Every structure is written in C-alpha cells, then in structure tokens.
A and B are shown apart, each in its own frame.
Chain A
Amino acid sequence: MIIDINFIGLIIASIMASAVPLILASCGELITERSGVLNLGVEGMMIIGAISGFALMTVTGSLIIAIFGAMLAGVLISTIFAFLTQTLITNHVATGLALTIFGIGISAMIGKNFVGIPGKEFPVLFEGLKDTIPLLGPILFGHSIVFYFAFALPFITSYFLKKTKIGLIVRAVGDSPESASNQGINVRLVRYACILYGGAMSGLAGAYLSMIYTPQWIENMTGGRGWIALALVVFSTWNPIKILIGAMIFGGLTIIQFHMQAIGVRIPVQFLTALPYIVTIIVLVVISRDSRKIRLSTPSSLGKSFHKDN
C-alpha cells in the first residue's frame, strides 16, 4: 500500500480542525478560572454560539456579522452567569450547570427553523499554497481565519497571563480576592470581564462548529465538547500550552478512531469512542503531575464566591 504523504498531511489537518473548538473554549474558560470563577456553563455557551452563528449567517447572509454575533451571544449569556455569581453571589457550580441546561434548551427552540438548511462555504486562506510543500502544505495552508486564531490563542493567552499587567491582575484576583481587594483592585470588575471573555470564546467555538467544521445546524451539535474543554482546563493545570497538547490528542484520537471503525478494526465501537476521553486525561495527568507546579498554577480561590463587606 502506498500512502500519499499529502494524505497524512490532510489527516493531521483534520485532527487540528477538530481541536479548534476545544482550544477556543478552553482558553476562554482558562482566563475565567484564573480569575477564580468556575463556569460550568461552557457547553451551554458553546451551543448558543453555534445556533446564533448559524442563524445570523442564514438570515443576514454575512459571515462577519454571524461570527461576531455568535461571540456577542456568548457574551450575553455569560453576562447572566456573571450577574448571578458576582452580583447576587450565587453558587458557581449550580449556576453554571443551569446555564448549560438553559443553553441547550433555548438553542433547540431557536434552531427548529434552521434544521436541514445548508450552510455557507466559509472562505479559507492561502488555498493556493497547499500544494507547494509536501506534507506541511495541507497542514499549514487552506484554513479559515478562526483556525489560525485558535492555534495562536494558547500562546497569546500564555503571554497575556505571564507578561502583561492585566494578566497579572487576573492571576492575583484568582489567587486571593481578599488581598486584591485590599490592594484596591476591583475584584468584581475583573471577574465580570473574565467571565464575559470566556463567554465570547465559547461562542466563537460554537460558531466554528456550526459554520465552518460542519456547516449546518443539528440539535445538540456540540455533543459534550464543552465538558471536554472544561476537563482540559483542569487537567492541563491551567496551562494554555498543555491545553493545546490535550486538544490535539483528543482531536487526534477522535479522528483516528473514526478511521479505525471505517477500516473495520475488531475492537468494540464503544471502546473506540471512549478512547479519546481516557487517553487525553491520562496523558494530561502524566504531564502535569508535579504537585508543586499544580499548587503554583491552581487559582486558590477557584469556585469561591467573593463578597466584599463593609
């Protein structure tokens, strides 16, 4: 059997494409969690992004409006979460779960009219360069703008957290909101901003699914990717670069197990579908087991409500 080298390139590119929504949502949630807020509503925000993007694209015909509209929808729904947890001091876990259930429900309701409508083709960049380099060509070129953004995002996030003043403030708030407040930092404002940013990224991840990855609307089309994104954040020990690794492994195994099923490997299908989840978690646990580093990068106040009393 002769395997075309460009075919391998295409497989790798498809693995990367399937990792995109995970990277986007995880990097957004990472910022939220670094500020000490645990938002379990990622799945809900993603699916809202998915339906908003698809609906806006169908109605307005503008891809730009659709992409930004999906992000805005993510921001709006996360504003509900922010208002509840930061202003009304509700429990993060319960509110996040409610957000997911709400998101899935409302997206199904809005989406009724959009089932079966074909999506639009999303423009790709550097299409012509695809064949210029063997193997690398299909990996590097011919993708959407969102794809490139997703693979830059972990590095941007890492730089933001480590090198910028605002990143420092986010980490400080997550480490000790009491100390931050006593230093004159507006904890609530910082956390609002981080939650809204997380919402925008989840919205974008959803829009990528419904507009670029599989351009159509199917009910519940995020299929648990929001939960995987959440798990990636925790198992990567809040490290954006490890999120990238985890998302690639997860995406890779998902694609490979499809191919294995197609070839007809005699392994139970259930096991193959479970494989990406198991392996991703094992790998991330193994690469993140330094307890000292975990202690240093875990936001100490994660999931705890902060209430400034006077």
Chain B
Amino acid sequence: MNTNLKISNVTKIYPGCVANDNVSLEFNSGKIYALLGENGAGKSTLVKILSGVIIPDEGNIYLNENNLKLNSPLDAKKNDIGMVFQHFNLFETLSVFENLIIDSDEERESLREKIDTIMKKYNFSIDLDIPVLNLSAGQKQKVEIIRCLIRSPKVLIMDEPTSVLTEQETSELFLSLKKFSEEGILIIYITHKLKEVMQLCDEVAVMRRGKLVSVSEIKNENIESLANKMVGQNLKTIKKKKAKTSSDQLIKITNLNFTSEDPFETNLMDINFSVNRGECLGIAGISGNGQSELFQVLSGEIISEKNSIEFNKNYIGDLNPQERREYLMAFSPEDRLEQAAIPQMKIFENVALNNFKSSNFFNNGLINENKIKEHSKKIISDFNVNTDNIDLKSQFLSGGNLQKLIIGRELITSPDLLICFNPTWGLDVGAINYIHETLIKINEQNKSIILISTDTDELLKLSDKISVIHKGKLSKIMNSEEVTSEKLGILMGGAN
C-alpha cells in the first residue's frame, strides 16, 4: 500500500528565531528522502513536529490525506510514524527487553516472539536481557529501530543516525534502510553529511535558516552542488601544507594506564606515543572508546604517574591542569558548555578562568577587571568572535563563536601544545573552516597539536600522524598520507 506524507505550510517560531518558515514538502513511500541542512537550519524542528514532540504554530501534516493532529509523541506512534532520534530515547539502566515492552500493549511472550522475528529478518543480534548501557552505540540504534518496527510503521524518520556509528555499522544501517524502503516504509533521513545523501537517498530536500531551499532528485545533484545549496555560498576548500618533519620531541607518553571504577568509563591500557614540535597527532575512534578519559589524563583532570607524561623534558604526570598550563600546555575539551566554559558567566569572566601567574588577573585576591576585559577584547578581535559585548553571558554565544572564544583563550598565551577534543563538533561549515585554519596556523608556527576527534575527514585533513583508539588501546601511529578513511574505519571497529 502506498503511503503519502504531506507537510503543508508549517511554521514554528521561537523567541528570536524562526525555526521553520512556511515549509511544505511531500513524500511518497518506495523512496528514501534526505532532509539536508546545517545545524540550526530547522531540520530537527521539522522532524520533532512530525514526531509530535513539538507542536507547530501554523500548518498541517497529512498522512494519506488525513489531517493529523500530533500533540504528543503518542499521537505520532498511533498514526504509524516511527522516529529514531539522534540522541537515543532509551532507558540506560533497564534491559533491552524492558525498553521495548514499556510502550507496547502486548504480552511478554508474544512480544518476545515478534522481536525475535524482526531480529532474524534483518540480521540483528542483540541480547535482550542485558541493560542498555552495556550496548554499543550501533546496537542501541538497532534497539530504537526495533522499537519502531514492532509497531509496523508507515513512516520511519532517522535523525542524524550515523553520527555515532562506525563505517561498517553505517553500511549495515544503509542496507537495512533500503530493505525497509523496499517493503513499503517511507523513509526520511535527516543529515548534514553529503556523502551519505549521495549514497543512500533518492530525493533530497535542502533547508537553510528555517526555509526550504530546494527539492531535487539525487541523480541531478553532486556533493558540491548540495554543499553550496546547504551553506548558501561557495565554500573555499582548505588544505594543509606538508609540515617539515622535525625531530624535536615535545611530549612523550610512556606506559600510561588508567583504571576507572565507573562502569560507564573506559580503561586506558598501555598508552605510548610522542609528538614532535610543529606536528599534529590525530587520534581517531568511535566515541566512548576512551577518548574522554585520554583527554582527561592528558589535561590533568585525571592525575597519573609522574613519569608517564614527559613534556618539554619535565615529568608532569602528577600535575593538575592549572600547573600543566604553566608549562605552556593548552586544552579545549569536548563539551563547550559543560567543561570548557561556564554558561551562566560572562565572556570576560570565562576568560579569567584560564588564569596564569603572569597574566595578573588578580591583585591581592581582588579581581582586576580592567586587565581581564582588555585581554578578552583582544581575544574577541584576534579570533573573530562575532560579538562586541564582553559582558554577555557565554550561554548566548552560538556554538561556533563559543568555540572560537575558547580556542582563542587557550592560544593567546601562545602555548607549545594544544590538546583538543572534537573541536568542531556540532558547528556549521563556516565555523569549522575557521577552526581548521586556526589549527593549521598553529602547526605552521612550529607548535604542536593533539587532536582527538570522531570526525575522520577532519583528522585526515589536519593530522600529520594518526592513531586509532579502540576500547582504551591505541593502534600503532601511522603517517597520515598512508591512511584512508576506510582503513581508519576498520581500525575503529577493532580489527587489526
């Protein structure tokens, strides 16, 4: 049976931002549709409207000519619209089966049979009786998909599903999605990754700043044309010049171990690497394989053995982040609003948090506001932060501007080594370009970078050497010219 989903003149306005501006779209089953756009383009709002999480200010949704009133996620479910969110809607401490039975009206046994049939049909293998927190991201996503399939949906919406998956898991997902589509489920695939759109979808709708920009068939598009539609301007491509190989070692990690008591954390096992001056070492991996623990060990949030980290001929393994900064290390953590900055504090106050003995931010225990403000203004102008109000609370900066501020704060003291963790996570293309340029500049000034990232393309673009972290172990360190994203993908999945 054919499914037809129509979005008609949907508008959703938030204070200070039009998330969806009169959007109309039509979908038919048998095809896979891509909804493409940058962060903040309004695609997430649109799918949340389709799944009943957000109620639109204006406009209607029609499924097979019926006007749907989607006031809650329950309404979407009842109308056979299934949704897999980017951030999983699972209960981590409940078992897989408990997660699935919670919104089902079926009896335990019949539901179990149904799940088994679904798993056999699509070649999923998941232990139903272990808690969800023990599953990998790919398995969690499968649980979400099973949850939708139990209700035999007419429409399946996938919101940025590959952001947590390996290359292998991604291709498995694509196979399943194609199978679903053949079986008559209408699939809407939300992403900002152009490669995936070309690989998977039949039609693509591009959104920009809340508006629908274009709807076209994939065969008439290519990656460049889609990128330009998405950003609305022609993008310059940046490329790193090959660094002169220097043999001047800056940091050396020897036999570093970390054992955590928290079952949610990953243990680090026998980490060894070194970085020379002017070099960028990239560390690839699927999130949750020990990256955040490695970052914390390197930054001093977790103290390790004194001799395990040698920086500039000093042993610093037992120093805290403040003391490490005095040795000219700088850090840009993954979570901008939780770890790098304090959202409720003003820009200049956040700048003052990165306090050095030499910076004279404090006199006899009192805050030297003028000095800090002067310093903050310099960061804002040097690093292109798009605001002139340093009294603004940091939470009102966009992700890109906040990241520029943080990188600026770290770099203004011209450190020898910058350690960053997913520096462009969640940023739009323009900001990503700016951060990438800045990082390349650091290397050109003979300073070093350790770049921990889950974005393979970013790593290949910026690194001189690359290693892969898997379950807390580092692979051998490779020259980046010898590496391809396929090879990284295989290593990220744990193979040798």
Q: List residues of chain A with CB under 8 Å of any chain B CB.
A: 165, 168-169, 171-172, 175-176, 178-185, 291-292, 295-298, 300, 310
Contacts and interface: CB of A to CB of B under 8 A. Distances in A.
Chief secondary structure at chain B's binding surface:
loop
B87 to A, nearest CB: 8
Contacts of B55: 310
Interface of B: 51, 53-55, 72-74, 77, 85, 88-94, 98, 101-103, 131, 133, 261-264
B102 A169 contact: yes
B94 A181 contact: no
B53 to A, nearest CB: 6
Contacts of B51: 182
Which of A176, A179, A182: most chain B Cβ within 10 A? A182
A291 to B, nearest CB: 5
12 contacts: A168-B98, A172-B102, A175-B92, A180-B91, A181-B73, A182-B53, A183-B103, A184-B73, A184-B74, A291-B262, A295-B264, A296-B131
Contact of A292 (B53, B73, B85, B263): B263
A175 B93 contact: yes
Contact of B263 (A180, A295, A297): A295
A289 B103 CA distance: 33
A194 B72 CA distance: 23
Given A168-B101, A172-B102, A296-B131, A179 B73 contact: no
B121 to A, nearest CB: 24
Contacts of A185: 102-103
A188 to B, nearest CB: 13
A294 to B, nearest CB: 9
Given A168-B101, A310-B54, A310-B55, A182 B94 contact: no
A295 B262 contact: yes
B54 A184 contact: no
Given A291-B261, A295-B263, A295-B264, A183 B102 contact: yes
Nearest to A290: B263
Given A171-B94, A295-B262, A184 B103 contact: yes
By Cβ-Cβ distance, the 7 closest A-B pairs, closest first, are A184-B74, A179-B89, A175-B91, A292-B263, A182-B89, A184-B73, A172-B91
Nearest to A298: B93
B101 A183 contact: no
A183 to B, nearest CB: 5
Contacts of B90: 176, 179
Nearest to B76: A184
Nearest to B74: A184
Nearest to B52: A184
